[in-house]
A and B are shown apart, each in its own frame.
Chain A
């Protein structure tokens, strides 16, 4: 990269540090260095790994991807290698390559998450992001992240098990995001990332004369179309709690990054845009550094302060 970015873009979360505020979102970037063909993964603030569960998961049957206007719907169903394989095969590579990373974890019971927290601690993983958009089997498959009581219990229990940097990724599929953000703060989390995907439905219709065949893809909506929702959520979370926030949802250019920072994000994640423009995250680091220099800000923190005034 052309310019020295080390000090000017640094984000210090205390327990966890980023060399710059540009991260990549879970599920869009693999586990390690899969995007090294297009950029230098080491240059990113951090990558968030694909969501990892206790056991390996094959994911959903049937159609998993649906493109819609300015976005896409996915129903991958958390296909992943499982925590044991992650620790054995992916973790050594991440460390060997010097990639700053956050392990994204998902489960279907509090116990699953606690075990994942314990394993993360035992393996000295510095940061984890908790996906709470998973059905809680014991509460009739209500998602953990939609009920403040369950969410508080879940995060408290993970907090007891894991002493590293604990990020909770909130779901936007709720009425009052403030209450959930507050529950997460009270439970002892270190950071909130927002937002996860919105619930969406893709409808495919095929006509053969008067004969109609249709298929549905019900899943998580992401991409440019969700940005206004994400901005609104980040702003509301910022006003409700004191935790640092990692903003995500439809970011595809520097202007988007600045908007998220302006409403409360301390760092951002790039998700769906990785599919469209695979080197976008590295490009954004450069563009951000150039912008800071060109406009005359001292560093990223200074830019953040001015954007928040």
Chain B
């Protein structure tokens, strides 16, 4: 159940150029890869959503949520200015999660023996947490990530592509690794290509989308995307909110525009 929670900053550090890792305490017992938190920024109307890049559940208030972000605007600038012990006001857990081998909000899938994870830029954040959980749950996985240059590269991948596109030699990797499913997060253009690639190779894909959000819980309809209406054949297209119906969508349901 989502809640409005308070935590304390445990650690804040630069992990790459203009890229910050923020860790804060939480009383949450579970939050899954793909889900996000929405952090209050003083004097800002809208909270800022961040994918969970890591999570450790502990007793009482001692769990740890990790988020990663690029310095972009006033919100991220404020977060970077926080010091150890400062308070964080956040909504969590928000959104759905990637399909996981067991537990999680989505139905478990049998065909989840091997997973290829593709993170483009800061899109690596949820991939890192997903990789950890897949590994814990004995699913063979391979994380490939791509960054503009060496300085911006975040560690933790099995292969890191610097410059060019993370998808440049991806077909070779697919042929070699033979995944059952592709998970990805990154800019829309990359996610669209990932979905096309999956379709071409007859693979399932799940992508975590991003959009400016207001409420974060599906009521304001500010962050909708177009998806195929799987349940209702009569109407082919429907809106889905990235914050509540997503952020994770099956590659086959997203309508790219």
Which residues of A line the B interface, CB within 8 A? 27-30, 34-35, 37-38, 50, 58-59, 63-67, 70-72, 74, 76, 79, 223-224, 272, 274-279
Contact = CB atoms under 8 A, between A and B. Distances in A.
A71 B46 CA distance: 8
B42 to A, nearest CB: 10
B104 interface: no
A64 B223 contact: yes
A121 B4 CA distance: 38
Interface string B229-247: 0000000001100000000
Given A38-B4, A72-B214, A67 B45 contact: yes
Contacts of B220: 27-28, 65, 74, 76, 275
Which 10 pairs from chain A and chain B are nearest by CB?
Answer: A30-B219, A65-B222, A79-B221, A37-B2, A275-B214, A64-B222, A67-B46, A34-B219, A65-B212, A223-B45
Nearest to A66: B212
Contacts of B1: 37
Given A275-B214, A278-B4, A28 B45 contact: no
Given A58-B239, A74-B214, A278-B217, 13 more contacts: A28-B215, A30-B218, A30-B219, A59-B224, A65-B213, A65-B220, A67-B44, A67-B46, A71-B45, A74-B222, A76-B222, A79-B239, A277-B40
B91 interface: yes
A275 B215 contact: yes
Given A65-B214, A67-B44, A38 B3 contact: yes
Interface of A is mostly: loop
B47 interface: yes
26 contacts: A27-B220, A28-B220, A29-B219, A34-B217, A34-B219, A37-B1, A58-B239, A59-B224, A64-B224, A65-B46, A65-B214, A65-B222, A67-B44, A67-B45, A67-B46, A72-B45, A72-B46, A72-B214, A79-B221, A79-B224, A274-B215, A275-B214, A275-B215, A276-B44, A277-B40, A278-B4
Contacts of A74: 214, 220, 222
B3 A37 contact: yes
Contacts of B222: 64-65, 74, 76
Contacts of A29: 219
Interface string B173-217: 000000000000000000000000000000000000000111111
Nearest to A250: B45
A277 B43 CA distance: 12
B45 A276 contact: yes
